[in-house]
Structure 1
Amino acid sequence: MSTPRPQQTEASAPAPAPADGPTHDNPGGLAPVPVRPAGFGDALRSEWTKIRSVRSTLWTLGVMLIVVVGIGLLTAWGLNDSAWVGMPLLAPGLFGIMLGQVCVLTLGVLVISSEYGTGMIRATFTACPRRSRVLTAKAVVFFLLSFVATAVACTVTALVNWWVLGDQKVPPFLRGEAAGRFEDSVKDGRLIATTGEWLGATVGPALYVALLGLLALAVGALLRHSAGAVTTMLGVVLMPLLLALFMQSASLKPVQEKLIEYSALNALASFYRIPMSDGSGNGWDMLGILAAVTAVVLGGAYALIAKRDV
């Protein structure tokens, strides 16, 4: 008669279930993973990760820094041999930012249009279904990044101009005219940079270019096409002056003056105190107008992004 084997209770016994036990929806009885909806802070972190990890950001802002500082350095160096160049001390920085702003406009478009082109926008809206929150996060991250980068470029350029052209002398027979045009920018027969000029050569252009980039982002959200949005923004920046060049008749003179006065390039020149128009406005007034236009276009982008299919 054989002896029965003892039961292997430890091997055959089922694994203990969690405290809640298995359910119909969770047969294994596994503890649920806590899930919370994505907030605005999560959207900001996501957009910051995306904008700093793509090559387009490095290339566009890198080229912008090189162009603004490089052209500013070359301009100041070329004017160093002149006794007086006929412009405020920090004004040569205008020539670099006029070209460098194109890089910021391009990046503003690519921040959103590239996601539509690759289809990544679907994953973005899946992770954060509130599309207005996504657009707000993109706008905040891009505006701050472009403002800081442009302000650094303009500040370095202003310092270069001050260092190279700081000993600039104004001829005695022109000192009255220079003092009248540049207010208190002449001291002891030399051009100086006042606090207003420093702000106008650093913070002013940085705010204006960053707002132009934000407008480009809104246009990119409306058109959802990189080439079309970039072309549109180049038209906004360049077309007023190009049209004004061909309006030479007396009947079109008022229109020509308004096109020049409210052009983006004239606004930048006004910050450096060398406006292209004789109008009463200045760069800070033009900054307010651009902010209003950007708000309107961005509002249209908010309205359409909520209604469209991806």
Structure 2
Amino acid sequence: MSVSQPYPQTYPQQGAPAPAPGYAPQPGYPPQGQMPGQGPGPMPGQMPGGQMPGQFQGQPPVQPPRTPTMAGAAERPNLLHALASESTKLWTTRSTLWLLICATLSMPVVDFAISSHYAGLDQVLRSQFTTDSSISALTALLLYVPLGVMVITTEYSSGMIRNIFTACPRRARVLTAKTLMLFVGTLVTTTLLSALSLFVSHAMLPGNFGEPVANSDVLTTAFRCGIYLTLATMFSYGLGAILKRSAPAILIMMAAIFVPFVVAVVTGAAPGSLGEKLMDYSLISGLLSQFNPQDAPATGPSATGILIYLAIAAAAAIGGAYALVLTRDT
């Protein structure tokens, strides 16, 4: 019976370098850390010991320069970015866009219809082009009020307001941008359209061709009408931000426009009666007084006083909207 011999053990020779840690090289492959065709020794451009030229012994290896990340290089959002976002939403939301288009076209179209109807009337009625244009302004009021409501309520109904507040946690900035964009856009469009409707109505009336238009009166009337429509729109905007629902806010605004006027007409506007007070302070009478300030009610506020009262109401509604938006959940 043969006894198996143990494997022969080899010991490193005295003075031989210890093998480097790692896997043993396979037959036909270069040692670890060495490129094919490269002999033993340091790499090109590297000093013995793994140091780079100009580097002292014990100094940490040189790290390559880091490029700045996108988060550090990006510009921090501000109010201008919020204004640009609100402008984009105003022109891309179908409901608000169509309301703005209809409100823009309503004033000259209604003026054209009224002016052509007055062709058979006498010269006195033909010259009352400012009074006739107040009817087109009333039509625009019925369109700008829902516009102010739906600018904010559509975001609540669709749930987009959550994404907006997530992207921009500063809610006051979002509401400020929305308020400024709506105020400036409404003021510019209503003032320009009021001036355009006044000029168009005056030019279409028979007997007025060739007569110069009193530019100062027309511009003053157009500016008053623009301010009135803008304040009414901002009041409806604040009410919509408080209620967060389109239907209740629009219903309340339409009731505020028509109910006092209708009740005053039905009950009779006798001196000192409730009907007279409702007629003096109704939104319709306030709008008509902007075209003819001398026709303002004797017992009620003047045309400028109506604007002041409406500005106070709009500021109160928007202030309440700020208080609720900053404190409640979406």
Query: TM-score normalized by structure 2?
Result: 0.74
Matched, 1:155 2:174: no
Aligned twin of 1:256: 275
User: Compared with structure 1, are the counterparts of its residues 8 and 144 closer, same or farther at alpha carbon in structure 2 (3 Å cutoff)?
Assistant: same
Structure 1 runs not aligned, ≥5 long: 21-28, 170-189
Q: Which 4+ stretches in 1 moved above 4 angstroms?
A: 6-11, 190-193
Of Structure 1 and Structure 2, which has the larger fraction of its residues in helix?
1
Pairing 1:37-56 to 2, within 5 Å after superposition: 37-56=76-95
8 Å CA contact 2:104, 2:189 repeated in 1? yes
8 Å CA contact 1:147, 1:210 repeated in 2? yes
Cα separation, 2, equivalents of 1:126 and 1:95: 44
Pairing 1:62-211 to 2, within 5 Å after superposition: 62-86=101-125, 88-165=128-205, 167=207, 193-211=213-231
Relative contact order (alpha carbons < 8 A, sep ≥ 6): 1 or 2 greater? 1
Cα deviation, 1:91-138, whole Å, max 9, x if unaligned, reads 211111111211111111111111000110011111221212211111
AA paired with 1:247?
T
Cα deviation, 1:219-238, whole Å, max 9, x if unaligned, reads 00000001111111111211
Aligned twin of 2:69: 31
Task: Report the 3-state secondary structure (helix = DSSP H, G, I; strand = E; otherwise coil) of the residue aligned with 2:119.
Answer: coil
User: Compared with structure 1, are the counterparts of its residues 287 and 276 closer, same or farther at alpha carbon in structure 2 (3 Å cutoff)?
Assistant: closer
Cα separation, 2, equivalents of 1:209 and 1:109: 14
Cα separation, 1, equivalents of 2:255 and 2:147: 16
Structure 2 runs not aligned, ≥5 long: 1-25, 37-61
Query: TM-score normalized by structure 1?
Result: 0.79
AA paired with 2:71?
V
User: Compared with structure 1, are the counterparts of its residues 18 and 262 closer, same or farther at alpha carbon in structure 2 (3 Å cutoff)?
Assistant: farther
Query: Which is higher, the Rg of structure 1 or of structure 2?
Result: 2
RMSD: 3.0
User: Compared with structure 1, are the counterparts of its residues 243 and 284 closer, same or farther at alpha carbon in structure 2 (3 Å cutoff)?
Assistant: same
User: Compared with structure 1, are the counterparts of its residues 17 and 229 closer, same or farther at alpha carbon in structure 2 (3 Å cutoff)?
Assistant: farther
Cα deviation, 1:8-52, whole Å, max 9, x if unaligned, reads 8689xxxx97635xxxxxxxx983522554321111111111111
Cα separation, 1, equivalents of 2:115 and 2:144: 23
Cα separation, 2, equivalents of 1:205 and 1:279: 22
Identical aligned residues as a percent: 28
